[in-house]
Amino acid sequence: MAVVYYLSEVNMMNEIDFQSLVSRFAPSTRQIYTNLWKRWQNWCADNSIQPMPITQEAFDQFISQMRSMNRSGQYVRHFLSVLRLVNEHLGYDEEIELNGEQIIKLRPPYILLNSAMMPAPGNYQLVEMTREDWAKAIQRAASEAQIQSYIGYPDTAKHVQDITGLPIEVNRAETVLGDSATMFIVKLKYRVSNPAEKGQFTPTDSDYAYYVARYTKA
């Protein structure tokens, strides 16, 4: 016998499920994520689209409409963490892409680096992120599992700590990867012209670039 849900019951079920899903986050993050999820639900209702799981087709339609309204790329990207969180919770494996950029799923173990290096043979998938999105991603990862820091410079460690609120260890040990890892990378946008000066000046916030990479052993 088929189960029939009225629209109000579906919305209530989705809201209860979502509140449970974000219960591990800080109150401010829960509020932001809840507001974004409500906006997504409203957009789906206005366009007669099932709100979850989030398919690439639905997300493409959302992006197209946001661009027609002159919404910025950053505005659209704000939804990615929320929609990806919902898909992961549902066990939906389709990768959501924005402008051809694949959104990497965060899976432990997590490591933190100050260089976009490849310390072991294998396959690497790298995407650049805004500072805001990167900070949110690493905060979410830290709520799930410990992050191993291989940040070798105190200034860089302090910068990451300032933008994430997480305690960051300075560690100059050799980076060790297992069969897989999610790598959070924060690095200078430029090379220091004089190697002797490396570590002897204090970069500003605008000097850094942010990446997430997914590694799997070959």
Could you report the per-residue pLDDT of 119-150, keeping only the tens digit for each?
Answer: 889 999 888 888 888 898 899 889 888 999 99
Could you report the per-residue pLDDT of 145-204, keeping only the tens digit for each?
Answer: 899 999 998 999 999 999 999 999 999 999 988 899 999 999 988 766 555 555 566 777
DSSP assignment of 20-41? HHTTTS-HHHHHHHHHHHHHHH
Spelled out in words, what is the top-level CATH class assigned to the domain 110-217?
alpha beta
Cα dihedral: 32, 160, 127, 19 (round 10): -20
What is the predicted pLDDT for the residue at 106? 79
* Cα-to-chain-centroid distance, residue 86: 13
Alpha-carbon span 34 to 21, nearest angstrom: 10
What is the predicted pLDDT for the residue at 73? 65
Domain ranges in the chain are: 7-102, 110-217
What is the predicted pLDDT for the residue at 13? 39
**For the purposes of burial, counting CB atoms within 10 Å of the CB of 131, is it exposed (0-12), middle (13-18) or buried (19 or more)?**
middle
Task: State the Cα angle at 89 between 88 and 94, rounded to 5°.
Answer: 30
Alpha-carbon span 162 to 202, nearest angstrom: 14
Could you report the per-residue pLDDT of 75-106, keeping only the tens digit for each?
Answer: 777 788 889 888 888 888 777 877 655 556 77
Q: Give yes or no for residue 12 having a pLDDT over 50.
A: no
pTM across the whole model:
0.55
Q: Give yes or no for residue 7 having a pLDDT over 60.
A: no
DSSP assignment of 105-137? PP-SSEEEESS----SSEEEEEEEE-HHHHHHH
Q: What angle, 0 to 180 degrees and rounded to 10, lies between the N-to-C axes of helices 154-164 and 131-144?
A: 80
For domain 7-102, give its CATH number from 1.10.150, 3.30.2010, 3.40.50, 1.10.260. 1.10.150
Could you report the per-residue pLDDT of 18-48, keeping only the tens digit for each?
Answer: 888 888 888 888 888 899 999 999 999 999 9
Alpha-carbon span 218 to 197, nearest angstrom: 37
Which range, of 2-6, 18-22, 24-28, 108-112, averages the lowest pLDDT? 2-6
